[in-house]
Structure 1
Amino acid sequence: MKIPFKAALVIACSIILLVSCSRKKDKFINRNFHAVTAEFNALYNGYNALEAGRSSLIDGYFDNYWDVLPIERMQISEEVMLPGQSKNENFNTAEEKAVKAIQKHSITIDGKEKNPQIDEAYLLLGKSRYFDQRFIPALEAFNYILYKYPASDKINQAKIWREKTNIRLDNDELAIKNLKRLLKQEKLEDQDLADATSMLAQAYLNTKSVDSAITQLEIASNATKSDDERGRYRFIQGQLYNELGKKDSAIYAFDRVIELNRRTPRIYMIGAEIEKIKNFDYENGDKYELLEHITELEENRENRPFLDKIYHQKASYFLHYQSDSLATAYFNKSLRTNSPDKVLRAKNYEILGDMNFDKSVYETAGNYYDSTMTSLVLNSKPYRIIKRKRDNLEDVIYYESIAKVNDSILNLVNLSEDERVAYFETFIEKLKIKAKEEKEKAEAAERNSNSGLVVANNIGNQPVRTGTPTQAAMFYFYNPTTVAYGKNEFTKIWGNRALDDNWRWSNKGTSGAVGNASTNNLIVSASEDELFDPQFYISKIPSEAKEIDSLSKDRNYAYYQLGLIYKEKFKEYELAKSKLQNLLNSNPEERLILPSKYNLYKIYEVLGENSEASIAKADIVSNYPESRYATILTNPDSASDKDKNSPESLYETLYEQYENQEYAEVISKSEAYINTFDGEPIVPKLELLKATATGRLYGLEAYGKAINYIAITYANTPEGKQAQDIETNVLPKLASSDFIQESDNTANNYKVIFKFENPKPEQIASFQKTLDEVLKNIRYYTLKSSVDVYNPNTTFVIVHGLKNEQVAKTFDQLLVKEDKKKIKEPYFAITSANYQIIQIHKNLDAYLSTGNNSK
């Protein structure tokens, strides 16, 4: 029987296939079958997945061109992954394919691997783990190749990847040693040489050996087959030369990057151009040629994705030549590009803030510093530096806002009726124009919404949908036009508000919005008829003398504080002089006149205005001869800042009295000192000490009122912020006046209290001395005494150290007969917790009326 040729061929191939599938025979057909299958199946798919994962890694990495770039673009994540999890599914796939190749195609006979593709599988395994940031398992895979396959054609690559992994594990010295040995022992070429030297350069960078890194980068840039890598290596060389201060070498390195033009990513070329501009010799170079070059970069359409950096550099050029208006315009243009570079945004905001700070426009500077911090890493060193600048501006912004608003209102108060009408008619005309514009915007937004237009990037020739609006188009927040309109309206009415609880509170808005907040709130509350009626606004102008006087006092106090802040904190003596002179010309309260004149005298001295200083000195000495300022001016050697009459010394003395429980004296003297030193930095400290003494003497309710006053009146001082914290976090915890049930199970600390009404100090001292002598004679207990003031009329002498309720209530039974004759005063027992409650709430009568022990 004849078998057809095709059938015979199929049978023969099947037999060969079955025979070659075996991994236990070292035959030519077996080895090559598994080698080909591994290479063109598992490994091919694995390397495709690895390359896809690597591309996504590179695409997701954002280079910080403000610092020296790393050799390899790879974002290290701090996220901890559980076993079996992967940061990137592509790398997980690549690892699975490598494992599959090893498990299904490995031919191990007599301890030797016969499949030439298995070393490639282990290399893929190590690479996939490396890019998945599992460096220890990756190191194991590379070491396995070196141990198991010493004759592999991939051995050099395995050694290079092992050292890459060592560098990621911070084993830089080991990596340098191994890479140098590899370069010495092996004659590497092309990409292997580029990979080895570039990684050696990274290790040198990590160990601060900049010169050695530059040398290795030169070798790598010449050896690599990738223009992408070549551009990066040469750019890093330029950055390193800049670090070493070798500007000429840096410019040469950047020129080599620019020469690559389109063969390398354009970001490197633009970065090199910008770095060259930074190295420009502003003293000897041709500034007009430089400006022309920057303008060419700006106008080149290919550079549109990099306009944020180009605008910033052009702004820096104008800033250097003191063209502030042009510099400001270009810094703002850089910001409007919505750059993803947070460092660039932060620098733009910071420079604009510094420019306004130098011009003494502190409110605007503060707003720019706020924006700067949003682009910085929280609690980083740059963040803390900017925050310190911003905190220094807090008070000046606050008081400038008060002065500005109250000045505006008082100016309206002083206008005649005709002048008021003319003023508000002009205001209403502007309001009508603005209302018309807003109405047109709203109508346009409504038309867009009703027509179902979808605002999107119309890529290619995609048609714009019309007809029935989709749900997305109808929803307010899906329409950019109406969202922008809404944001604008919110800002106009409320100012810039933080995303916070109680955002409607007046102290939550930014100070920049204070001036407009009252006007905008008035506009919102007005009816349609009132909105364009001048008399409506005129009727809101304060007319009562008390209200006008309050506005004037607040304005004058703000002037005084601004004068001190500009003088002491910012050394802006002209500004300080202006504020204090305005204060003295505004009929200030008596308490502000003398310190203002003294501070003006000191400012005149600093400014070298000797005649004005002499006039101010004579005024103080002749009109206020008994003041400490006059003493300082007439006899500066004996009147130092720390003399017995200085605010600091008086405060220290007062605090000692507080510690001695002389609370009534502390309260009385604090009030006197507050009036004496009103407007000076010591006042909030005196207020806080007074509040604490008030609480100790009169209880929680009085303490809460005093703390609330400090929190409101001195909101921007450290003491005011401390008071706010007490009011928010401490007082609510002390609010309950309910007594705790006394039992041995819950209370193990008792006090015995001897109460004295209107005692003389010597009476208390004598009784405590006698009590201490008695306590020494009590056996089994270690007791001690103390004295506490309860209220202005009542003082306690307390026995501490009792642990049992019954023993505390029968304290007299512990005494010997002789001692009982010495201690005849009545007493009562109380737990420590309840004693704290009666001291906080001053509710001793309520405690004793509940039937608690009293003898």
Structure 2
Amino acid sequence: MKTSFKANFIFLFTILLLVSCSRKKDKFINRNFHAITAEYNTLFNGYNALDAGRKSLNDGYSDNYWDVLPIERMQISDEIILPGQSKNSDFTKAEEKAVKAIQKHSMNIEGKERNPQIDEAYLLLGKARYFDQRFVPALEAFNYILYKYPASDKINQAKIWREKTNIRLDNNELAIKNLKRLLFVQEVEDQDLADATSMLAQAYLNTKSVDSAITQLQIAANATKSNDERGRYQFILGQLYNQLGYKDSANIAFDKVIELNRKTPRIYMISAYIEKIKNFDYSTQNKSELLELLTELEEDRENRPFLDKIYHQKANFYLDNNLDSLAITYFNKSLRTRSKDSQLIARNYETLGNMNFDVSEYKLAGFYYDSTLINLEENSKPYRVIKRKRNNLEDVIYYEEVAKVNDSIIKLVKASPEERLDFFNAFIEDIKAKEAAEKEQAEAEEQLANLNSAVTSVPNNQTNIGSRSAGLPGQASTFYFYNPTTVAYGKNEFLKNWGDRPLEDNWRWSSKVKSGGGASSVAGANVLALASDEERYNPEFYISKIPSEAKEIDSISKERNYAYYQLGLIYKEKFKEYELAKTKFVNLLNSNPEERLILPSKYNLLKIYEALGENGEAAIANNEIISKYPDSRYATILSNPDLVSDTDADSPEALYEALYHQYENQEFAEVISKSEDYINRFDGEPIVPKMELLKATASGRLFGLEAYSKQINNIAVTYANTPEGIEAQAIEANVLPKLANTKFTVANDSISSGYKVVFKFDEANKEQIKTFKETIDKVLKNIKYYSLSSSVDVYNPKTTFVVVHGLKNEQVAKTFDQLLTKEDKKKIKQPYFSIASENYQIVQIHKNLDAYLSKNNK
């Protein structure tokens, strides 16, 4: 009996289940079956997947507190997603569940949806697409709800999410219009009101309407049920008030964030404290209370994840109160926290760089600016500002190093044998002390490595065999770059092969040696690396390396003097550091400089005396220049200051402009000759590298690639740290290899970019060339069906070409005279040859016309 009852019950339940599964019958049991199944199965799993995806999205997102925060925490990626792809598998799963709910449980009967959960499915579908950053498909889902389910209880949410999507699609004006209509027409309350007004605030922010955004954000902060959102909205309000200059209102908003304490993410509270501290008025408020607050924040254990920000702000406090040593300590503390905030790291390095810059520690400042650049977005405005400042320091660092090294060498040259011996004995003791310390450290590392091996050899499932260190936490790694012994060996081998070179592009070039670029400097950089074990501890080995020949010593002195001159100019012109500039010029004049550096140094000293208000010294320098160098340009400037300016006809800039004009007119021989004269006349001035580059280019046009290559190499080495030197290095690395080809191409109309007809003249017949050019121009106008032009091209000092351009066919170029009328043939009797444009370029670059003509005649 019991068995019969159970069987009957199962049978009836199965029949009932099958009947209720139908989506075509509008019955109470059918509607509720599909509604419950959709809500508590498919949609439940879909929303779980959506929440998981949002959590992973938030975990991977980092707010930029240096700028006004966005209302919604969501990282927008520029990555292009192809159809069928997804950025997050959780959102894909949520979308699949939403689609499944629609396909399996939709009850669209007679044009009306009978399942009350389907609008929820479409809402889930739109949200999943929205967070997966597929905004157009998301918009379609939200619009479908508005079209198909106008009476839905989710209608307000659908409208809000549609406008969120419009904002992401940059349709801000449309979003503002629709959200204002929603708030005016509908009674929107609670969280829907918070969501609508917060999104309206974002749209206003996007359109730069900050006042309107503040009004809406205040409503959102009061209406939201989420303390996370309330803390964020209040913090953004404070940022907006600060942006408008209302510091009191900003501080009130930040206080509301602080009052939330643990109810909201702690980062909001810490950031609110920091923003309030930035608004601190040192002239009216109590500094001791501020320092006490900073110390309290620093010592609170809960704030450990945010010490990078707290240390940075405390460093700024000390900096504002002229406590530089404490400021430096806390900037370095902030850096040691290994912060993930790249902008904070960049500001720490930049401030340290500025502090060193202000005390004329330019080399150290340069290192800090290098670190700053690494942590800034390339090509951003802050990046360009720091990059320009760093480039200005390049020459200072280079020439200071040259001066330092060469001063040391000259000092050793002048030292007595006893002084040299004492110096190198002390040097050898330093080497021994460093090697002893390195040996002790290497032994400690080896012991740790042995312990590490012993631990990893023990069969223990919890041993981290696959990790990089493969040992206990805190143990040293046996990886090559974590072993100081092998690293030291590698460094020594590098020094042996390459010398001491900076970490930068093209480091293998000879011009990149740190110690100054001269032969003596290169040798000095490698002395220790090349020494044998016996020689390393023998002072006589080092003494033997001191230059002894007069020519070599003179070269080192000249190199040092030129570095002094360049440093004086840089400190005077670029940094306005007149005391430093004066020191360099005075040291130069006391070092028996070459004649070419004396007069410009005295003139620059005169200008420095005037800038410093040292009128007596200025008057002496003025009289000395006028009396001792009466025929110089400087004497003319000082004698007639009203008649002469820096842009007069005899200024280096004006002469360069005139020279460049001659270059454009293909007066290459004249350009080369005058360049050499000007380079000697203005030696030591910033215009010289430009003239050298112009001379090299003119030489290349007149004499070919070999002459050009030789001079470019000279510029790259001699003026390595000037813009022209850097340009020459780029030419040497990238351009010259492409110009090395001397192989003529085989004529092919489908490949060649065109053909030229060339008439050859001797350079001496300038009048004949001019007359022929005028004639050919008239003749070319009479040729039908072709758009032809002519030019005069210098080939070499003895030969000039008149070239006809615009022919596309080889055969037409070879029979150019057949294009002429009978009358014009009588005018053009000069012999010619045809050449493909590519081959003409090779001929002009390599000056190998004879090779081309002999090949062509064959």
Q: TM-score, normalized by length of structure 1? A: 0.90
1:257 shift after superposition: 1.3
Residues 1:730 and 2:745 aligned together: no
Bigger Cα displacement from structure 2, 625-634 vs 787-796: 787-796
Match of 2:755 in 1: 749
Checking the alignment, whether the CA contact within 8 Å between 1:453 and 1:466 is kept in structure 2 is: no
Task: Output aligned runs, 1:34-49, within 5 Å.
Answer: 34-49=34-49
What SS does the corresponding residue of 1:452 show, helix, strand or coil?
helix
User: In 2, Cα distance between the equivalents of 1:427 and 1:75?
Assistant: 57
1:449 shift after superposition: 2.1
Task: Output aligned runs, 1:822-837, within 5 Å.
Answer: 833-837=838-842
Change (3 A) 1:614 1:183: same
Task: Output aligned runs, 1:287-302, within 5 Å.
Answer: 287-302=287-302
Letter in 1 for 2:687: I
User: In 2, Cα distance between the equivalents of 1:745 and 1:481?
Assistant: 56
Checking the alignment, whether the CA contact within 8 Å between 2:175 and 2:200 is kept in structure 1 is: yes
What SS does the corresponding residue of 2:75 show, helix, strand or coil?
coil
User: In 1, Cα distance between the equivalents of 2:714 and 2:43?
Assistant: 76
User: In 1, Cα distance between the equivalents of 2:292 and 2:156?
Assistant: 50
1:471 shift after superposition: 9.2
User: In 2, Cα distance between the equivalents of 1:2 and 1:767?
Assistant: 124
Checking the alignment, whether the CA contact within 8 Å between 2:501 and 2:507 is kept in structure 1 is: no
User: In 1, Cα distance between the equivalents of 2:812 and 2:120?
Assistant: 86
User: In 2, Cα distance between the equivalents of 1:465 and 1:384?
Assistant: 48
Q: Which runs of 5+ in 2 are unaligned?
A: none
Residues 1:686 and 2:691 aligned together: yes
Bigger Cα displacement from structure 2, 189-198 vs 112-121: 189-198
Match of 1:710 in 2: 715
Match of 2:206 in 1: 206
Checking the alignment, whether the CA contact within 8 Å between 2:760 and 2:799 is kept in structure 1 is: no
1:641 shift after superposition: 2.2
Letter in 2 for 1:70: P
What SS does the corresponding residue of 2:48 show, helix, strand or coil?
helix
Bigger Cα displacement from structure 2, 110-119 vs 335-344: 110-119
1:519 shift after superposition: 6.2
1:569 shift after superposition: 1.5
Change (3 A) 1:517 1:308: farther
1:369-391, Cα deviation, whole Å (9 max, x unpaired): 11111111111122112112112
Checking the alignment, whether the CA contact within 8 Å between 1:498 and 1:509 is kept in structure 2 is: no
User: In 1, Cα distance between the equivalents of 2:18 and 2:795?
Assistant: 102
Task: Output aligned runs, 1:452-471, within 5 Å.
Answer: 452=452, 465=463
Checking the alignment, whether the CA contact within 8 Å between 2:402 and 2:515 is kept in structure 1 is: no
Match of 2:50 in 1: 50
1:666 shift after superposition: 2.8
User: In 2, Cα distance between the equivalents of 1:129 and 1:785?
Assistant: 63
Match of 1:459 in 2: none
1:285 shift after superposition: 1.2
Checking the alignment, whether the CA contact within 8 Å between 2:405 and 2:516 is kept in structure 1 is: no
Match of 1:239 in 2: 239
Q: How well do the aligned residues superpose, as a CA RMSD in angstroms?
A: 3.7
Letter in 1 for 2:125: L
Change (3 A) 1:265 1:321: same
User: In 2, Cα distance between the equivalents of 1:376 and 1:422?
Assistant: 48
1:490 shift after superposition: 6.5
Checking the alignment, whether the CA contact within 8 Å between 1:396 and 1:565 is kept in structure 2 is: yes
1:367 shift after superposition: 1.6
What SS does the corresponding residue of 1:4 show, helix, strand or coil?
helix
Task: Output aligned runs, 1:120-159, within 5 Å.
Answer: 120-159=120-159
Identity of aligned residues (%): 70
Change (3 A) 1:623 1:129: same
Residues 1:676 and 2:681 aligned together: yes
Checking the alignment, whether the CA contact within 8 Å between 1:450 and 1:469 is kept in structure 2 is: no
Letter in 2 for 1:753: F
Checking the alignment, whether the CA contact within 8 Å between 2:448 and 2:476 is kept in structure 1 is: no
User: In 1, Cα distance between the equivalents of 2:44 and 2:736?
Assistant: 70
Match of 2:324 in 1: 324
User: In 2, Cα distance between the equivalents of 1:814 and 1:137?
Assistant: 65
Change (3 A) 1:476 1:788: farther
Checking the alignment, whether the CA contact within 8 Å between 2:745 and 2:839 is kept in structure 1 is: yes
Residues 1:270 and 2:270 aligned together: yes
Residues 1:102 and 2:107 aligned together: no
Task: Output aligned runs, 1:277-676, within 5 Å.
Answer: 277-452=277-452, 465=463, 472=470, 479=479, 482-483=482-483, 497-498=502-503, 500=505, 503-505=507-509, 507-508=511-512, 521-676=526-681
Change (3 A) 1:133 1:718: same
User: In 1, Cα distance between the equivalents of 2:844 and 2:832?
Assistant: 17
User: In 2, Cα distance between the equivalents of 1:584 and 1:663?
Assistant: 38
1:73-132, Cα deviation, whole Å (9 max, x unpaired): 111111111111111100111111111111111222222222222222111111111111
Match of 2:227 in 1: 227
User: In 2, Cα distance between the equivalents of 1:114 and 1:779?
Assistant: 81
User: In 2, Cα distance between the equivalents of 1:695 and 1:531?
Assistant: 48
1:291-336, Cα deviation, whole Å (9 max, x unpaired): 1110111111111100000000000001101111111111111111
Letter in 2 for 1:258: I
User: In 2, Cα distance between the equivalents of 1:600 and 1:674?
Assistant: 22
Letter in 2 for 1:721: I
1:198 shift after superposition: 1.9
1:189-242, Cα deviation, whole Å (9 max, x unpaired): 332222222222222222223233233333322332222112111111211221
Match of 1:700 in 2: 705
How many residue pairs are counted as aligned between the two chains?
846
1:614 shift after superposition: 0.9
1:120-149, Cα deviation, whole Å (9 max, x unpaired): 211111111111111222222222222222
What SS does the corresponding residue of 2:452 show, helix, strand or coil?
coil
Checking the alignment, whether the CA contact within 8 Å between 1:602 and 1:613 is kept in structure 2 is: yes
Letter in 1 for 2:739: L
User: In 1, Cα distance between the equivalents of 2:378 and 2:404?
Assistant: 33
1:793-850, Cα deviation, whole Å (9 max, x unpaired): 4455667778887887788999999999998887666555544444433334444555
User: In 2, Cα distance between the equivalents of 1:466 and 1:829?
Assistant: 75
Bigger Cα displacement from structure 2, 827-836 vs 77-86: 827-836
Bigger Cα displacement from structure 2, 468-477 vs 342-351: 468-477
Residues 1:80 and 2:80 aligned together: yes
Checking the alignment, whether the CA contact within 8 Å between 1:452 and 1:469 is kept in structure 2 is: no
Checking the alignment, whether the CA contact within 8 Å between 2:652 and 2:687 is kept in structure 1 is: yes
Checking the alignment, whether the CA contact within 8 Å between 1:312 and 1:334 is kept in structure 2 is: yes
Letter in 1 for 2:262: R
1:595 shift after superposition: 0.7
User: In 2, Cα distance between the equivalents of 1:732 and 1:481?
Assistant: 36
What SS does the corresponding residue of 1:284 show, helix, strand or coil?
coil
User: In 2, Cα distance between the equivalents of 1:96 and 1:778?
Assistant: 72
Checking the alignment, whether the CA contact within 8 Å between 1:449 and 1:479 is kept in structure 2 is: no
Letter in 2 for 1:620: I
Checking the alignment, whether the CA contact within 8 Å between 1:50 and 1:90 is kept in structure 2 is: yes
User: In 2, Cα distance between the equivalents of 1:77 and 1:797?
Assistant: 58
Letter in 2 for 1:522: V
1:708-747, Cα deviation, whole Å (9 max, x unpaired): 1112112222322332233223322332334445688877
1:19-69, Cα deviation, whole Å (9 max, x unpaired): 222222222222211111111110111111011001111111101111111
Checking the alignment, whether the CA contact within 8 Å between 2:406 and 2:560 is kept in structure 1 is: yes
User: In 1, Cα distance between the equivalents of 2:215 and 2:465?
Assistant: 66
User: In 1, Cα distance between the equivalents of 2:798 and 2:383?
Assistant: 54
What SS does the corresponding residue of 1:625 show, helix, strand or coil?
coil
User: In 1, Cα distance between the equivalents of 2:139 and 2:608?
Assistant: 69
1:276 shift after superposition: 1.2
Change (3 A) 1:411 1:7: same
Letter in 2 for 1:33: F
User: In 1, Cα distance between the equivalents of 2:846 and 2:553?
Assistant: 39
Match of 1:189 in 2: 189
Q: Which runs of 5+ in 1 are unaligned?
A: 457-461
